Amino acid sequence: MLLGLVVALALSACAVKPEPTTSIALRANATQYFVSEFGVRVGIRLDFPQDRLITGARMMWTGGSDKVKPWPLDGSNPVRPPDTLELPAGEEVLLEGSVVAPCPASPGVPILQVDSEVEGEKRTDRFRPADSTGFDRAFFDWCRRPVTMVIQGSSWEPGGDSKLHLDISNPGPGTVSVVSRAVTQGDNTWKPMQVDVPPGAIERLTIEGHTPELCAATPPWETGDLLANGTPIEPGGDGWC
């Protein structure tokens, strides 16, 4: 009798934290690819046959992964995607992640893993893109991109201390050394800074200096003092301020 009670309690304890139920490589409803300096953006639309609470998602490929959040497609149009999403049965949701991997070899078609709950049961579902051949074409386009600089922000204090925050993306195949040389020109002074960007990576370079108010400052790339492997590099777009 005592042995039976112990076994029953053990089974009850095990039932408190059930393992998530997993399904492998379901097919998504639709897939879109967009290539930019931030890698290959993969957007996957999917739905479930039951009401779900989406609690997390991750895009996974050989050598890397990217945490993604769900975008509701119910017309609510949030400014930012929520951390969790209650998704009614049959209603589509969009999940987007960026594949950043070194060229030239493709890391293979990414898999989207979605963690959710249905009627209190934890689920883990994995989805393959609906258009798997499209990924290889998009990754080829990513590999054709040059080293790219994107301005991600700046700051200026009344005393003149300035900072420029740059993201440098490098598809590969080799490491790129990005150097911002020391500059003293009129009222502009910039400290020397450097970052090495491995292939298939995006790294942050913060340049510090002492300048007039930022829109009146002259950033290092305008004087040819920001170099990628010795070659001057400038940000894309119409301007920086």
For the chain, the domains span 19-143, 148-232
Backbone φ, ψ for residue 115 (5° rounding): -95, 135
19-143 and 148-232, same CATH topology: yes
Given 3.30.70, 2.60.40, 3.80.10, 3.40.50, which CATH number is that of 148-232?
2.60.40
- The first and second tokens of residue 183, run together, are 């500059």
23 has pLDDT over 70: no
Interval 180-206: pLDDT, tens: 999 998 888 999 999 999 999 999 999
Cα–Cα separations (whole angstroms), residue 61 to 67, 110, 111, 150, 228: 12, 5, 6, 25, 28
Distance of alpha carbon 68 from alpha carbon 98, whole angstroms: 9
102 has pLDDT over 90: yes
Give the pLDDT score at 12. Answer: 40
User: Which has more confidence, 26 or 107?
Assistant: 107
Give the pLDDT score at 236. Answer: 73
Percent of the chain with pLDDT over 90: 68
The class of domain 19-143 in CATH terms is mainly beta
What's the predicted TM-score (pTM) here? 0.80
* Lowest model confidence (mean pLDDT) among 16-25, 59-68, 85-94, 138-147: 16-25
Give the pLDDT score at 27. Answer: 64
Strand 21-27 vs strand 121-128: parallel, antiparallel, or unpaired? Answer: parallel
138 has pLDDT over 50: yes
Cβ-based neighbour number of residue 52 at 10 Å: 23
Estimate to the nearest angstrom the gap between the alpha carbon of 215 and the chain centroid: 29
Residue whose C-alpha is closest to residue 126's, from 58, 33, 51: 58
Residue whose C-alpha is closest to residue 183's, from 203, 208, 156: 208
Given a contact cutoff of 8 angstroms between Cβ atoms, the answer to whether 145 and 138 are in contact is no
- The first and second tokens of residue 157, run together, are 């204090």
